[in-house]
Amino acid sequence: MKKGEFLYEGKAKKIYRTDDPELYLVEFKDDATAFDGVKKDSLADKGILNNRLSAIFFELLEEKGVETHYEKTVSEREMLVKSLEIIPVEVIVRNIAAGSLSKRLGIPEGTVMKKTVLEFSLKDDELHDPMINHYHIYAMDLAEPEEMAEIEKVALRVNELLVPYLRDKGITLVDFKLEFGRHGDKILLGDEISPDTCRFWDSSSQEKLDKDRFRRDMGGVVEAYREVLRRLEGGE
């Protein structure tokens, strides 16, 4: 497998073609951004940690029958994935109120939701990823109803699998964001699953072990990511 033409640079990752048209190479950068890129920094080793953490989550999900774009890890910062045509809808799953939900609805952070909440936003930084609903998705032709039914089913299944897995490691899965894409006639889970895209709280102290430490200038960002990896690898 050869690293081919550079395709796309996101805020935390770069994507390259390979000599196989079905496969892309994802390179995880150390760059951290928040508030649509307004706040920026480079956090040494973040890319290495997110590459490893995403691989662990994708492997676990694949083992449980969730189809993801993940193929294999090829280096410290790189994973091979199936090529996807990304659906520009971010899918957010929430178990506990935090972040923008707390702000928007006035629900104090930490409140356990009576039912899992699914939200969708348009993947568009210039517009600040505005929240949208099914009507917008179909009116804007972002995805088909059958595709959304599959996406929602998989998003809830990912939650069902990750909540108990993380609970065993002393981590509460507060919320997370997923992205999906088309590969042939399949919809696959894409992007990454990492402390950049999830809220992880220590189950006993409620300490934040995710990107909120960066968003809120709390310090100890990489140390928190490393702690998550230690727990997942060490099997606390």
By CB under 6 A, the count of residues binding ligand ASP is: 8
End-to-end CA distance of the chain: 36
Nearest distance from C-beta of residue 33 to ligand ASP, angstroms: 3
Q: Which is nearer to ligand TMP, 151 or 198 (CB)?
A: 198
Q: Looking only at residues 184 through 223 of this chain, which bind ligand ASP when binding is defined by CB under 6 A? A: 211, 215
By CB under 6 A, the count of residues binding ligand TMP is: 12
Contact with ligand ASP (CB under 6 A) among 3, 11, 123, 157: 11
Task: Specify burial of residue 142 (Cβ count, 10 A radius: 0-12, 13-18, 19+).
Answer: middle
CA–CA separation, 42 vs 11, rounded Å?
Answer: 11
CA–CA separation, 148 vs 215, rounded Å?
Answer: 30
Q: What's phi and psi for 210, nearest 5 deg?
A: -155, -170
What is the longest distance spanned by two Cα atoms in the chain?
Answer: 50
Contact with ligand ASP (CB under 6 A) among 1, 6, 22, 36: 36
User: Of ligand TMP, ligand ASP, none, which one does residue 177 interact with (CB within 5 to 8 Å by kind)?
Assistant: ligand TMP
Contact with ligand TMP (CB under 6 A) among 48, 92, 158, 222: 92
Asked if 197 touches ligand TMP (CB under 6 A), the answer is: yes
Nearest distance from C-beta of residue 99 to ligand TMP, angstroms: 2
Tokens of 125: 């930084």
Tokens of 3: 């690293």
Nearest distance from C-beta of residue 20 to ligand TMP, angstroms: 28
User: Of ligand ASP, ligand TMP, none, which one does residue 199 interact with (CB within 5 to 8 Å by kind)?
Assistant: ligand TMP
Beta-carbon neighbour count of residue 190 at 10 Å? 24
Asked if 175 touches ligand TMP (CB under 6 A), the answer is: yes
Phi/psi-derived region of residue 42, left when phi > 0, alpha when psi is between -120 and 50, beta in every other case: beta
